[in-house]
Amino acid sequence: MSFNVAGRGALITGAASGIGLAASRSMLGKGLQSLVAYDLNPSLPDVAEELRKEFPGTEIITHVADVTDPTSLQAAFATPLDGGRPLTIVSNNAGIGGADWEKTLAVDLSAVIMGTSMGLARFKKEAAGGVIVNVASMAGLAPMSFDPVYTAAKHGVVGYSRCFQHLIKKGIRVNCLCPAFTDTPLVQGLVDDPKFGPAGKMAIESLGGLIPMENVVSAFMGLVENEDNNGAVMTVTNAHGIMPMKFPLDP
Ligand code: NAI
């Protein structure tokens, strides 16, 4: 069954750049009507203006704030949408690499937990169902030895996101996206960071190079649109394409 994005309302964190921006653009292209875009990058309003020009008639609301600030994040999740449209798509996507351990856990794990609980609370209040896509990483499934804290945070996101399959009774799904290295500013930043070193570059090469953004967006859209995906953890690699992760004890 298909969960069409046309006419719906969505909230995406980390929407100013990379995967968040590409996923926003893809949903707007499919007729998404309202987008709440959240990012600490001050360029977000300019990005939103571009999107409004590209997709005339859509409602795009920006929140320039840090996902680790619960008050700002809660305000974004409380945003009323045009005509009382319910919020039915959420992506906790904002993430960082290469930061100190406390900041990494705060952005890459704690904020995803906050965003998921705020999203679920809104879905339950509006009783229109919904889907959450939490953006983890292949580092949520395998060790990325040059950044153990990022690895820990992303493993946390995978485990956490798999805990809500029972909510399907209320028409709510929580899924998780696990791309390998994708061609985005985050990765460019890492590649240029001397701490990343040869191990990081080798890891990229061993996985067949940087993944084209369209493959990651296609996996994202599958997690939103395909209602069979409930508690799914979707991997994206150049070697194997888009593939759901099988876990021990999976039925
Ligand atoms: P990006 O750097 O292009 O975009 C991330 C966005 O999040 C930026 O616009 C940034 O300003 C925003 N952001 C960062 N910290 C924030 C905070 N504290 N509060 C609000 N906004 C914040 O990076 P990319 O690659 O698009 O990353 C998106 C997600 O995908 C992240 O969770 C990342 O860990 C994950 N990911 C990325 C991969 C890659 O190779 N690019 C691979 C696997 C996962």
- Say how far apart CA 233 and CA 29 lie, in whole Å: 24
Q: What is the pLDDT at residue 249?
A: 85
How many angstroms does the Cα of residue 28 sit away from the middle of ligand 1?
Answer: 20
Tokens of 144: 């990325």
At 80, phi and psi to the nearest 5? -75, 145
Amino acid present at 244:
P
Instruction: Give the tens place of pLDDT for each residue, 161-211.
Output: 999 999 999 999 999 999 999 988 778 777 777 777 777 777 788 878 899
Atom of ligand 1 nearest to the CA of 44: 9
Q: What are the catalytic residues?
A: 150
- What is the number of the ligand 1 atom nearest to the C-alpha of 17? 9
pLDDT for position 191: 74
Q: Is the pTM of this model over 0.85?
A: yes
CA of 108 to the centre of ligand 1 (A): 9
d(CA 103, CA 118): 21
Closest atom of ligand 1 relative to the 21 alpha carbon = 26
Residue from 11, 12, 13, 17 to probe ligand 1 pocket by mutation (most atoms less than 8 Å from CB): 17
| Among the four given CATH numbers 3.40.50.720, 3.50.50.60, 1.10.10.60, 3.40.50.300, the one describing domain 9-237 | 3.40.50.720
Q: Which residues line ligand 1 (CB under 6 A)?
A: 13-14, 16-20, 39-41, 66-68, 93-96, 107, 135, 137, 179, 181-182, 184-187
CA atoms within 13 A on the CB side of 30: 19
In angstroms, rounded to a whole number, what is the distance separating the alpha carbons of residues 217 and 91?
12
Distance (Å, rounded) from C-alpha 220 to C-alpha 134?
A: 10
| pLDDT (0 to 100) of residue 146 | 87
Q: Whose CA is nearest to atom 43 of ligand 1?
A: 137
Ranges of each domain in the chain: 9-237
Q: What per-residue confidence (pLDDT) applies to 155? A: 98
How far apart CA 130 and CA 88 sit, in angstroms, is 4
pLDDT at position 207 is: 78
Ligand 1 centroid to Cα of residue 115, in Å, is: 15
pLDDT tens for the chain, residues 1 to 251: 799 999 999 999 999 999 999 999 999 999 999 999 999 999 999 999 999 999 999 999 999 999 999 999 999 999 999 999 999 999 999 999 888 999 999 999 999 999 999 999 999 999 999 999 999 999 999 999 889 999 999 999 999 999 999 999 999 999 999 999 998 877 877 777 777 777 777 778 887 889 999 999 999 999 999 999 999 999 999 989 999 999 998 87
Looking up tokens 């964190």 gives 13
pLDDT in the model for residue 54: 98
Q: Residue 205: its pLDDT value, please?
A: 81
**Ligand 1 center to 83 CA (angstroms):** 31
